[in-house]
Chain A
Amino acid sequence: MAENIVEIHGLKKVYREGSVSTEALRGIDLSVARGEYLGVVGKSGAGKTTLLNMIAGLDSVTEGEITVDGRRVDKMNEVKKAVWRGRSVGFIFQSFQLLPGLSLLDNVMLPMDFCGKLSRNSSEKAAELLRMVGLIDHIHKIPSEISGGQQQRVAIARALANDPILLLADEPTGRLDTATSEVVFEIFEKVVAGGTTMIIVSHDHSLAERTRRIITLADGRIADE
């Protein structure tokens, strides 16, 4: 088993649109230890979300290497990446991205379904996750029937559905008020305490400071650690 769960070397990402090229990441070297709680901060356009997307395999690498739990993400094809991501990574978006027609319970069970982990106990497990995020009384509601903060808690439960080794959150409290953000971070701390590695991207230094380690990105490079 690798010492570091995430190993990044010389990571570059260039977006090209027509004749215009934009360098989002200009050579990132980063290691994240197993069980670590990492905060990535920086201004808008610094490359935080791009870095997170690269780690999760949501976007392709232009140059460099990314290894997660001993597996080279940058070498995986799309099918392998999807299966690996579903089984190993939990991802939390700023805008929740719950499926509107499904109940909270079904939203949480969806990753299990895609990853072939659906079993008789799946609904109990999903309900347990929803209990953990304080939404056990709302499991049959659909996302539009609950508040934004509650939706983000469902997104967290969904991200944990397949017991990921790595939890990634992109501006998870960006759309939430302070009190709700506090609740979300309490959940994250509980998750990390359980041994899950977590990387949070935020432009809000004060929230990121609740993590155990912070890196600052600026112009696609790690500016401070």
Chain B
Amino acid sequence: MRPRTKKIFYDFRSNPSRSVLVILSIFVGLFAVGMIMTLWICIPSDLRMGYELSNPANIYFRLSPFDNSLIRSVQKWENVQDAMGSSVATLRAYDGSGKLKKVVVQAVSDDSWPVNHIDILEGSWPLKDGEAAVENYKLTDLDGKVGKPLTLKTSSGKEVNVTVAASIRDQSLGAGDYSIVFIEPIQVYVHEDMLRKLEMDTHWNTLRIVLKDGGKDEQRIRDQANIYADRLKKAGYQVQSIALRRSDAHPTADYADAIAGILLVIGVLVVFLSGSLTYNTLTAILSNQMRQIGAMKTVGATYAQIVFMYMQLILLYSLIALVLAVPASMGAAELCRDFLGKNINFANIRTGVVWETVIVQLVLGLVVPQVAGAIPVTKGAHVSIQKAMGGMRGTGSGDNDRFTRGMSRLFSRPTALSMRNTFRNKSRLILTLFTLSLGGAIFIASFNVNKAIDEHVAVIARYVQADLDLVTDQPYRLDHIQSILKDIPEINYIEGWGAGSATYIDPDGNDGPSMSILAPPDGSALIAPNVKEGRWFEPGEQNVITLSERFNYTYPDLKVGDKIKMEVKGTGNKTEWTVVGFFTMAGKSGGFLAYMPLSSWLHISGAGNRLTKFQIVTQNRLNDERRAALTKDVETVLDAKGIKTTAIQRNDSFVSDAARGLNIMSIFMMIMAVLVALVGCIGLTGTMSLNVMERTAEIGILRAIGASNRNVMKNVLTEGVLIGFMSWGIGSVLSVPVGFVLTNSLGRAIFGSRLVPGYTPTGYGLWLVLSLVLSVLACRAPAKTAVDLTIREVLSVE
């Protein structure tokens, strides 16, 4: 081996802690970029490809009962690739603790599920009589397990036992009613033969159609749906609702978009973070090599030879970092994908190595450290031999002396010296602060974004402030329900709300999507809406309506003051309404929801002053157990009076379901915060350690002129704390724009509008503690090594 090659290896192994720091600096950047990029590539494609592979329906018709003959006819219609019928009904099921939970039960016309393929995650398929499959996403909500029995309760109150034979993934959840998996009820799938036992219609009531040639053109889907709807109506079927969806539009695609947006922002910042970290580390190493560079130049080394030698050393660091980072980032991304797949309901389609990521990691791993190192290396190689042999250790400029004198008036001389040290190498200080502040900014911003999410969850909760939501199978007068339930002492009061569904009439006059309608009484204290545009309706107003953000997204031309038409289910009349406002709730994929005054609802519903939805407010804040018992009590009392309950559920469970997607975003943000904290902490530790390592000789001089070890340690630690504190301060300020960008990206993807930024002291506090503790620890170890050496050893250190 050539002597200069030996020198490269010697430099590599001579100071293991320094080499480990450089490798770690490169590693964390590559790891973070690898993980982020894999997620960025895979999640949207997993969602899109996985959904497309399930042969998703483009058109969902909710029809009056039909049989297989219609399905066979539809399969022959032009542009139809596949059609499938299913019978869908809302029942209830007992969970492990005996509480009744709302479940959607469905059976399909073909066991092979030609449309909306499902993935069998566990158990056996096809189902037999007496068996059921439960959608994996909310299987735990039922405390269900494959092989365990499940008791379903029919609308008449009959209990039917089935065995959970399989757990499945159904990526189309929410697609049929413009909803998302989070707020969809628990899904139970049964064999056709079970329909009679469950008192469900043995005919099909939902028709799913897949269009030929991909079905990715929204307008084409809409046009075909109108043609098919006319044809179905002419054939005598009643079209109750229509839902349309592109083949590449997974119901939770918005969340994937939000994740991708956040990943992109953090990914770009991490590349900068890692680059500056590597630059900092390499600059520190190079400044320690100046004498050797001088000696090599003296014996004939050219500028190019020296640059090449150090570039080879950097390459060695890079290769080791790459070897570690590529598999580590793959593993971490895989774990993250599994978590997100399970929680936003998609399948990991791309398996194996994500080569795009590996290539980017290779390029970044080989190029960024070389580019980052090129500046200090070329600068070092350019230094004159005389200057290099002087060790490049500055003796302090006049500015610094003035600075020290100024500080000495305010602080003790050693503290002033620490401060002078901090500001001595300004370019190093700027880079150190840049790296640490950027890391801190992302870390703090992650907490602030989380806070914004939490605040939005609180906003959702303000729409449902009653404790229990009671839905009856028939409409009743409010005073009737009140009189029946008056003997339950925990009930404070009951409000009757209008609730139903309607078909939105598209501007072209065709049937549009099905929308849910809620109508609270005037002055209801049980709702505090979050109006994003326009206003909420006033007491006494008629024929006014407020719409959810989903309308904004689907009908961007729809504005406050416009008139819309809809047909409330069961009335057969198309009525016109004035849009007075748009509100934000669970996001633009949260379904078409509208609120109107109760008086308007009573006018159009045709049920007189009878209602099916009752909001129950309890006397005091009841504990969990008592609230569950109250649910049973209400149902028992009503049952005794012959009033059948379709659903009675706690509103907090609705809030937690609606917030589920946002909570996943919170967890995801925390994963990102930890990742950035990892990069930042290594940056902080590395930079501070190298700063102290570089000053080993100076420490020796201080000790030689009488400074005690304690003085030296105090001096070094003060410097560490000062840098830690400064980086925290700058990071705190920078976290505002970073948080704004992240919150904006999240808000636009999920809500179609900006999310109100949140601020929490948690991120600021945690980063302050981390900055200070790590600064002290990072400085302490090399400072201790320096004070443990004899003065002679210290002064002879290169």
Contacts and interface: CB of A to CB of B under 8 A. Distances in A.
A42 B294 CA distance: 25
A113 interface: yes
Nearest to B386: A59
B797 to A, nearest CB: 10
B302 A79 contact: yes
Nearest to A90: B299
A53 to B, nearest CB: 6
Given A59-B386, A97-B295, A114 B300 contact: yes
A58 B385 contact: yes
Contacts, number: 88
A59 B296 contact: no
Contact of B297 (A18, A82, A101): A82
A56 B291 CA distance: 17
Nearest to A15: B386
A23 interface: no
Contact of B305 (A87, A114, A159, A162): A114
User: Quick one: which of B2, B4, B11, B300 has the most chain A CB within 10 A?
Assistant: B300
Contact of B389 (A85, A93, A98): A93
B14 A162 contact: no
Contacts of A208: none
B294 A113 contact: no
Interface in A32-90: 53, 56, 58-60, 78-79, 82-83, 85-87
Given A60-B384, A99-B295, A82 B301 contact: yes
A23 B297 CA distance: 25
B4 A113 contact: yes
Contacts of A60: 384
Contacts of A162: 300
Nearest to B304: A79
B301 A97 contact: no
B3 interface: yes
Given A53-B386, A59-B385, A99-B7, A82 B295 contact: no
A85 B2 contact: no
Interface stretch (A2-10, A104-112, A184-192): A104-112
A109 B300 CA distance: 12
A162 B299 CA distance: 9
Interface in B292-340: 292, 294-305
Nearest to B5: A113
A36 B575 CA distance: 114
User: Quick one: which of B291, B298, B304, B385 has the most chain A CB within 10 A?
Assistant: B298
A106 B302 contact: no
Contacts of B389: 93, 97
A126 to B, nearest CB: 9
B7 A102 contact: yes
Contact of A56 (B4, B11, B298): B298
A87 B300 CA distance: 7
A82 B386 contact: no
Given A58-B385, A82-B297, A106-B6, A97 B303 contact: no
B10 interface: yes
Which size class do B's interface residues fall under? Answer: 20 to 34
Contacts of A86: 299-301
Given A109-B3, A110-B3, A114-B305, A83 B386 contact: no
Nearest to B301: A114
B300 A101 contact: no
A21 B291 CA distance: 25
A12 interface: no
B767 to A, nearest CB: 39
Contact of B11 (A18, A101, A115): A101
A97 B294 CA distance: 9
Contacts of A58: 297-298, 384-386
B4 A100 contact: no
B562 interface: no
Given A113-B3, A114-B4, A85 B14 contact: no
Interface string A169-205: 0000000000000000000000000000000000000
B483 to A, nearest CB: 94
Contacts of A153: none
A210 to B, nearest CB: 24
Interface in B758-798: 798
B425 to A, nearest CB: 17
A79 B302 CA distance: 6
Interface of B: 2-4, 6-7, 10-11, 14, 291-292, 294-305, 384-386, 389, 398, 798
Given A100-B10, A114-B299, 9 more contacts: A78-B303, A93-B295, A100-B14, A101-B6, A101-B7, A110-B3, A113-B2, A114-B4, A162-B300
17 contacts: A56-B298, A82-B297, A82-B300, A83-B300, A85-B299, A91-B299, A97-B294, A99-B295, A99-B296, A100-B14, A101-B6, A101-B11, A102-B6, A102-B10, A110-B7, A114-B299, A114-B302
